[in-house]
Structure 1
Amino acid sequence: MRADHAQLLGNRYRLISPLGRGGMGVVWRAHDGRLARDVAIKELRPSRHGELDVHAVRRRALREARSAARLSHPAIVTVHDLLEEDGRLWIVMELVEALTLQATAWHLGRLPVHWTAWIGFHLLSGLRHAHAAGVLHRDIKPGNVLLTGERVVLSDFGIATLRRDPGQGPHGPATMPVVGSPGYIAPERLGGHPATEAADLWSFGATLYFSVEGTPPPASGDGAAVRNLMSASRAGALTRLLEGLLQPDPARRLSGGDAAAMLSGILRTEGVAVPPMRLDGGGLFSSGAFTM
C-alpha cells in the first residue's frame, strides 16, 4: 500500500505531507499522537527496485537508524523510533524546521566568512561527536546541513557506517561501492580506499568551501593545486583551515581537533565567544549566534 496523508503508522504516527524525496525514499512530516508533536519520518522506498536487493535496503536502513540512534547532540538530527509496516522501514526523527546550507548559499550567492566559521564550528562539533561514537557520516554536503538561525544540524546518516561494526572486515565492507555526492567525496575514496574520519573531514572542508564560494571545490590532484585553488578564493581567514582540510593526502589533512581550534580562533577574532568543543553533546551553542 502506498503511503498517503491518512495513513497511521504504529497506531501512533499520522502522515501529513512529504517534505522531500531522494533515491532511497521519501521524508514525511507526521504527527506523533502519543506525544502530541510533529516529527519527520523517512520512508525507505527505493526508486530502482530492479537494481536493489530488498534485504540489502533493509540492512542499510537498520544501519542508518542504529548509527544515528547512538548519537545525542544538538548538531545531529535525533532518531526517535524505527517501524516496519507495509513491507517498508520507517525511521522516525526529530523534525527540524530549517533551510539547508545549499539553499541558503544559492539564495545569497555565498555566505560571509564569519557566518561560515560559525556554521563550521557547530557542524564540526556534531561530526566529532559522531566520530567519537565510532560513526562515519560518508555524505557530508551542503544539502545535508540544516540551518535554523540558532542551530546547525547535520542530517541524513543514510549511508553512515560504524567503524567497528562487527559485520564488517578490518577495512570496512568489502563490497561497499563508493557512495556520496560528486564534489564532496574525498580523493582517496574516489581512488577506492575505504571511508575514514579523514574522508569525512575532507567533505566537511568542501562543504565550508561551498559556503564561502557558492560552488564546490574543483577536483585537485596535489597540494600545489590546493594552494592555487585557495589563492584565488574568497575564504579570507578560513584559507589556512580549508587548505588543511582539502589536502589530497589524508595523512597530511587537518585533524578534527586542529580544525576545531582554528575555527575557535577565527570566531574569537570576529568577536564571537565560543565554549570549548565537547564531544558529549553538551554546552555547544553560544549566545553569539549569527542570525541568517
Structure 2
Amino acid sequence: MGTGTGKTRLLGGRYQLTSPMGRDGVGIMWRAHDSRLRRNVAIKEIQPHFRDHGADLEEARRRALREARSAGRLSHPAVISVHDLLEEGGRLWIVMELLEALTLKETVRHLGHLPVHWAAWIGFQLLSGLRHAHGAGVLHRDINPGNILLTGDRVVLSDFGIAALSGEASASTTVPIGCAPAYTAPERLRGRAATPAADLWSFGACLYFAVEGRSPYPESGSLAVLSTAMSRNPEPPAKAGPLWTVLEGLLRRDPAARVSAGQAARLLSEILRLEGVAVAPPQLPAARFPAGPFTS
C-alpha cells in the first residue's frame, strides 16, 4: 500500500497513514494517526519475503503475530508498547506507540562513543526491560544497537520480530535471517538454542559498542568467519573504565559462566552511584535521564 492509498482510506477503519519513517529487513515503519483515540502512532507494515513461488505470506504472518504477541504481553517503560495488529490489503500491520527517538546505533555513530556514565545509565534502563521480558517468558533474540531507542527520558527495546515465547517451537537453534551477527551470542552462532543468557551476551555487546564506538567483534564478514572470531575473547576496551567488569562478565563465551541479569544490574547501579548518577534500585526503572541528556 503506497502513501497515496494511505491518504484515501483508513486502515482498520481508524488508522490514517501519514508518512514513512524508515525501513528495516521486514517492512516499512509509518507515522500514522489513530482517529478513534485521537493520538499519533507508529505502524509497521510487514512485507513478506519472496521465494521461488512468490511472496511468503505465511512466514510474514507468523513473524507479525510473533512480534505482536511477544511485545503485547509486556508492559514496561523500556519495552515498546504494541496497541493493535491488523491484516488488510494482503499485508499485516503492527500498531505501536510512536516515539521521537534516535537509535543507539545512530547516536554512537554521530558522537563516536558515549561517556561511561551514559553507557551505564542506558544499560541499566535497558536491562530493566530485558529482565521484565525474560520474567514474562519472552526472549528477544536480536538485541543490537539498531533496535535500542533513545528518547529524552527513556531507553526502549524495540523490534520483537524474531522474539520467542518460552515453550514455542520458534525458539529454535537456527539463527534467524536478519539477525545482526556481531551482536549474536557465540553459542547461537554455533547452533545452540536461544536462552536468556544469549540475550545477555547481546546486551553486553551493545554496551561495549556504546562505550567503545565499535562492536566487540567485526561487524562484517560471513557467519563462518565471525564464528571463528568468536572463539577468542573480545579485545579489551580502551574507554570502558569501570564498565569493563560488567562487559567481561556478560561477554564470556560460556553462557553458564556469564553474570546474571541481577548481578549485571547491581554492578551497573554501583558504577552509576560512583559516577554521581542517582538511579532507582536495580529491580525498578529510573524515572528520568540525568541532567543534560545527549538527545537534546
| Structure 1 residue 216 corresponds to structure 2 residue 215 | yes
Give the 4+ runs in structure 1 shifted more than 6 A: none
Secondary structure at the residue paired with 1:122?
helix
Cα RMSD of the aligned pairs, angstroms, is: 1.9
- Whether the 8 Å CA contact 1:136–1:200 is kept in 2: the answer is yes
Provide closer, same or farther for how the CA distance between residues 283 and 252 of structure 1 changes in structure 2, counting only shifts above 3 A. closer
Equivalent of residue 21 in structure 1, options 9, 20, 23? 23
AA partner of residue 253 (structure 1): R
> What runs of 5+ residues in structure 1 fail to find an aligned partner?
none
More displaced, 131-140 or 176-185? 176-185
- Report matched runs for 1:1-292 at 5 Å: 1-2=1-2, 4=4, 5-6=6-7, 7-50=9-52, 53-165=56-168, 168=169, 172-173=171-172, 177=176, 180-218=179-217, 219-222=229-232, 225-226=233-234, 229-230=235-236, 232-278=237-283, 283-286=285-288, 288=290, 291-292=293-294
Instruction: Deviation per CA, 1:54-90: give whole Å up to 9, x if none.
Output: 2122012101101100000001110001111001110
Instruction: Deviation per CA, 1:231-266: give whole Å up to 9, x if none.
Output: x52110100100011101101111101000000000
CA shift at 1:185, angstroms? Answer: 0.5
- Whether the 8 Å CA contact 1:23–1:47 is kept in 2: the answer is no
**TM-score w.r.t. length of structure 1:** 0.90
AA partner of residue 255 (structure 1): S
> What runs of 5+ residues in structure 2 fail to find an aligned partner?
218-228
CA shift at 1:46, angstroms? Answer: 2.5
Query: What is the aligned-residue identity percentage?
Result: 61
- Whether the 8 Å CA contact 1:149–1:290 is kept in 2: the answer is no
Provide closer, same or farther for how the CA distance between residues 118 and 53 of structure 1 changes in structure 2, counting only shifts above 3 A. same
2 CA distance for matches of 1:287 and 1:21? Answer: 28
AA partner of residue 111 (structure 2): L
CA shift at 1:22, angstroms? Answer: 1.7
CA shift at 1:16, angstroms? Answer: 0.5
CA shift at 1:17, angstroms? Answer: 0.6
1 CA distance for matches of 2:48 and 2:111? Answer: 33
AA partner of residue 209 (structure 1): Y
AA partner of residue 209 (structure 2): F
CA shift at 1:35, angstroms? Answer: 1.1
Provide closer, same or farther for how the CA distance between residues 200 and 178 of structure 1 changes in structure 2, counting only shifts above 3 A. farther
1 CA distance for matches of 2:51 and 2:14? Answer: 28
Instruction: Deviation per CA, 1:19-63: give whole Å up to 9, x if none.
Output: 111221111000001111110000111253547632122012101
**TM-score w.r.t. length of structure 2:** 0.89
Secondary structure at the residue paired with 1:153?
strand
2 CA distance for matches of 1:236 and 1:272? Answer: 16
- Whether the 8 Å CA contact 1:273–1:286 is kept in 2: the answer is no
CA shift at 1:289, angstroms? Answer: 5.5
Instruction: Deviation per CA, 1:168-199: give whole Å up to 9, x if none.
Output: 28xx3366746510210100000001111001
AA partner of residue 267 (structure 1): L
CA shift at 1:284, angstroms? Answer: 3.4
